[in-house]
Structure 1
Amino acid sequence: QLPPHVWGAQPPPGRSRAPRERRPLFVPFATATAAAALVVASLFAVQADRTREQLDAERAQSREIAHVLAAPDARAGTGKDAAGRSITVVASAQEGDAIVTLSGYDDPSGGRVHQLWLMRPDAAPRSLGLFGGGDTPLVATDLDKSATSLAVTVEPGGGSTQPTSQPIVQLALKSVGFGE
């Protein structure tokens, strides 16, 4: 700007400018960084919550397994198919619970699952649950003492209300104290 004596007392109209506020360049950068930090913190919180829920479920399953193994009448049995793959059961007829593990079976393809069935005389098969994959055991509860066998079928994802295929492996429960 020119000093006032050049123009007289006032500069000519329309020639003056309001002073411009200077914003530091780091303000937008700091805002973007803070927003990104909030997003990352939120993602970590969601993941931590999922991990905690999964850990709680695994602890509950561990307690159920320990309960079956500690039963005074706990007995183990194994059944094999023609290819040598197996179903292993540790059961307590007194408690009506069993731990069931599949060995040697690949996870079914096409979104299908392995489903465990309780077989009883003169009754429709009753689903005991879906295997989680790999060698993860399934804890079956509320088994009927008259049950004769456990059977595993391959079912559509989410399982079925009744078996839709022939069993891939079956175990007579007499070997672990049921159906006697």
Structure 2
Amino acid sequence: PHVWGAAPPPRLRDRRRTPLFVPFATATAAAALVVAALFAVQADRTRDQLAAERDRSREIAHVLAAPDARAGSGRDARGRTIGVIASASARSAVVTLGGYGDPPNGRVRQLWLMGPDARPRSLGLFEGDTPLIASGLDTAATSLAVTVEPDGGSPQPTSRPIVQLALKTVGFGE
């Protein structure tokens, strides 16, 4: 018994054992933090992808809603197609390819704006079946051409076009 004012008797220190579940709880908490961080990164990527798709949808809607929007299409010798909806006033076009499948390994399909007395100008790379929005079109341009280029595209075409469409059919070059 302890008497008030007197020092407590010295105790032998009991060696307390750490319960077995403590390391497991610590590991579980660390794993939960890692999973939460991965979810946050994935949510951020998904948000960026959704924003890019929303922007692409707005650009497509802008071309489609233009009062002078016109559609045209072309077909190559094998029946594969290029479709274009263009607006000269918006200086933009929505371009689709059909029937081409995936390009050869390490290659991409690149869209070019062709014009009289001008070097071909790249309008972008096709990503699978996703429509390509071509903006900043020159109203004097004569055609759109698609070539197969090295991965990442080229500053100028390195091969003959696999398909070409005269822009006169959609209100350009007239």
User: TM-score normalized by structure 2?
Assistant: 0.91
Cα RMSD (Å): 1.0
Q: Percent identity?
A: 77
**1-side partners of 2:112 and 2:141: how far apart?**
10
**2-side partners of 1:20 and 1:118: how far apart?**
81
Q: Which residue of 2 aligns with 1:10?
A: none
**2-side partners of 1:112 and 1:46: how far apart?**
30
Worse overlay, 169-178 or 17-26: 17-26
The one-letter code matched in structure 2 to 1:85 is R
- Residue 24 of structure 2 corresponds to residue 22 of structure 1: no
Q: Which residue of 1 aligns with 2:93?
A: 98
**2-side partners of 1:158 and 1:178: how far apart?**
28
**2-side partners of 1:19 and 1:44: how far apart?**
44
Q: Which residue of 1 aligns with 2:148?
A: 154
Q: Which residue of 1 aligns with 2:158?
A: 164
| Structure 1: gaps spanning 5 or more residues | 1-16
Q: Which residue of 1 aligns with 2:70?
A: 75
| Structure 2: gaps spanning 5 or more residues | 1-11
Find the structure with the greater CA-based Rg. 1
**1-side partners of 2:130 and 2:48: how far apart?**
17
**2-side partners of 1:65 and 1:101: how far apart?**
12
Q: Which residue of 2 aligns with 1:120?
A: 115
**Superposition map of 1:21-40 within 5 A:** 21-40=16-35
**2-side partners of 1:24 and 1:62: how far apart?**
57
